[in-house]
Amino acid sequence: MESLGGDENQENNAPEPIIPTSGLVFYAPLSASALSAETGQSLTDESYGEITYVTDDNKHCAQWGQYGGTINIDPIFPTAQIDTGKSCTASVWVKVEPNRQDGNHFFCIAPGTSGNTGTGLFIGGNGTRWSVYSGGTYSIQAPSGSLSGWTHLCFTNDGTSIMMYENGQYVTSGAAWDIGQDGRNPYLGESTYSEESWIFKMMAVRLYDRVLTSGEIQGLYSEFAPAPDEIDIPLTFVAQSSGAAVKLEERGGTGPTVNLQYKTANSSWTSYTEGDIIPVNEGDYVQFKGDNSTFAYDPWSGRHSFVTSGTFALSGNVMSLLDSTLESRTISAEYALYGMFGGTGITRAPLLPASSLYDGAYFDIFNGCSGLLSGADLPATYVPRAAYQNMYWGCDHMTYGGHIYGTSFYGGADLGSMFRNCSMLSCVQVDFTQWDYDVSPDWMYGAGNGTGNFICPSSLDDQRGDSYIPYDWTKVDNE
C-alpha cells in the first residue's frame, strides 16, 4: 500500500459512537428520576425554580419557565466548576417552544459578577440563532436558522479558539476568551443576575474540563439523534488509527477531469484539489461528493483513485462520487470506479447501491485491501462485462463476500477472479441459478482456508472448483 506516513498496521472494526466520560465535571440528564438520583436533591427543592418534568417526542426532559412568567435565578447543581484558564466543552440538547422569548442564557458555564453575565450558550432572534456569549463583550454567533425540534448544541474552548457545533456538525468558530469564573456556580435555564420571561425544554447537559474531539461530539449527538439511512450519507472515511490521511491521485497516465468536494468534521463542503493530503484525527472523518461520469478510461489508461495512510472504515454511499445528490443508482460509463480503493488501509466497504451498471464498473475496486473484513451487497440483477472482475483480489482478511443479486450476465469474466486469494473467506450469497465458466473464471481461486457456506437457490448445480463453489464449503439453499 502506498503510504502518506503513519501507522498502516492497525486493524479493527469501525468504532461505535460512545459518550465520552474523561474530563466530565457536570452531567444533568434532566429526567425527573435520573435528576433526583444524580443530585440527591428533592425535586421540590426551591432552587429548581419554575421547572416541570415532561415527555416530548419520547424524550424525558426538564422544562424551564412559563410563557409570561419569570424564572428563578438561583444556581442549579453547585458541584460544577470550570477554573480560570481551563479548556472546556459544553453540550446540551434543547427544544425552544413556539412562544419563545428573546434573550437569556439557558446554560451558563461561567457566571460573572453582578452586571456581567459570564459565559454561556445563548439563544436570540426569537429562536433563529444561538451564540456563545459573555455579557455583550464577547460573542460568536452561529449562522441564523430556526432551531426547530430537538437540537444538539455544543461548543469547545481551547484557550485560543471557540468552535461551535450544531447536531454534531461544525458551524463556525472565533477567537477565545478566558471563561474563568469568580467561584459562583453555573445556572441552567436562566440568566445569572436577572429574571426573564422564557420557555424551553432541555436535557442531557454535560460540561467537560477539556476540548472534545469532533468524533466525541458526534458521539454526544448520536445519543438522541435520529439515525440517518446510510444510503443518504456521502462516501465517508472514518479514521481508526493515529496519523491517518487520505488523498485522491491520478495514476497511470492522464485520467478524466475530476470534480470533487470534501467535508471534514470541522469544516463545511470545500472544493477538493487532486493530490491534496487530508489528515484525519483518529475517530474523526472526511466525506467526499461530486458530479462525475467516471474516474477512469480503462485498465490501461489514466485513472484516479484514493491513497491512504493509516486505517479507515468506509461508510456512506459510494455513488456520491458520481452524483452529489445521492439520487442516482446508475453507473453509465465503463470502468467508472476502477481501482478506486485498491491497496488502501480500509476495514469496511461503503454501500455500492447501483442497480444499473456498465462494463468494468467495479473492476479492481478493492483489490489488495488486505484489512477489509466484509464485502458489500451488490443489487444489480444484470452484471455486464468485467463489472466485478478482480473486485476483492487479495482481501485476505475478508470473511463475508456480500450478497450478489445478479441473475443474468454478459459472459465476459463478469465475476472473474472476484474473490481470488481471499484466504479467510467463509460465506458468499448469490441469486443466480446456473453456472457459466465465461462468467466466473477462477472467481474463487485461493479463496477460503476451510469450511464455509455458499448460500444460493436450490436449483443451482452443486458444481465444485475454483470457478464454482469452493470444495470444502457447504451449499446452503436459500429457498
Amino acid identity, position 12: N
Rounded to an integer, what distance in angstroms lies between the CA atom of residue 90 and that of residue 265? 17
Which domain range does residue 60 map to? 24-222
Whether the CB-CB separation of 188 and 106 falls below 8 Å is answered with yes
The grid coordinates listed for 440 are 466466473
Indicate whether 159 pLDDT > 60. Answer: yes
Q: What integer is the mean pLDDT of 294-309?
A: 89
Which distant-in-sequence residues (6+ apart) come within 8 Å of 284 by Cβ?
Answer: 213, 214, 215, 238, 239, 264, 265, 266
Please report whether residue 476 resides in a domain: no
Q: What integer is the mean pLDDT of 158-175?
A: 86
Q: What was the pLDDT predicted at 309?
A: 96
Q: Which residue has the cell 472494526?
A: 13
Residue-averaged pLDDT of the chain: 79
Indicate whether 473 pLDDT > 90. Answer: yes
Q: Where residue 209 sits, what CATH number does that domain have?
A: 2.60.120.200
Please report whether residue 9 resides in a domain: no
Of the segments 133-137, 177-181, 360-364, which one has the largest average pLDDT value? 360-364
Please report whether residue 80 resides in a domain: yes
Q: Measured between alpha carbons, how far is residue 407 from residues 387, 438, 439 in Å?
A: 14, 15, 11
pLDDT digits (tens, 9 = 90+) for 306-341: 999 999 999 999 999 999 999 999 999 999 999 999
Indicate whether 195 pLDDT > 70. Answer: no
Please report whether residue 356 resides in a domain: no
Q: What was the pLDDT predicted at 16?
A: 46
Q: Measured between alpha carbons, how far is residue 338 from residues 259, 273, 389 in Å?
A: 17, 20, 10
Please report whether residue 340 resides in a domain: no
Rounded to an integer, what distance in angstroms lies between the CA atom of residue 74 and that of residue 192? 8
Whether the CB-CB separation of 452 and 470 falls below 8 Å is answered with yes
Q: Measured between alpha carbons, how far is residue 199 from residues 8, 71, 104, 133, 195 in Å?
A: 52, 9, 10, 19, 12
Helix (H) or strand (E) holding 214: helix 214-222
Q: What was the pLDDT predicted at 47?
A: 36
Q: Is 374 exposed, middle or buried (0-12, 13-18, 19+ CB in 10 A)?
A: middle
Instruction: Answer yes or no: pTM beyond 0.85.
Output: no
Query: Confidence band (pLDDT; 50, 70, 90) for 95?
Result: confident
Q: What integer is the mean pLDDT of 114-137?
A: 64
The grid coordinates listed for 443 are 472467481
Q: Measured between alpha carbons, how far is residue 107 from residues 29, 165, 187, 217 in Å?
A: 14, 15, 6, 17
CA dihedral 353, 359, 361, 362 (to 10 degrees): 110
Q: What was the pLDDT predicted at 1?
A: 31
The grid coordinates listed for 12 are 479493527
Mean pLDDT check: name the lowest of 42-56, 143-157, 166-180, 344-358: 42-56
Please report whether residue 146 resides in a domain: yes
Total domains present in the chain: 1
The grid coordinates listed for 362 are 467495479
Counting every residue written for the chain, the total comes to 479
Query: Confidence band (pLDDT; 50, 70, 90) for 43?
Result: very low
The grid coordinates listed for 147 are 432551531
Q: What integer is the mean pLDDT of 424-447?
A: 95
Mean pLDDT check: name the lowest of 17-21, 56-60, 303-307: 56-60
Please report whether residue 38 resides in a domain: yes
Q: What was the pLDDT predicted at 415?
A: 97
Please report whether residue 139 resides in a domain: yes
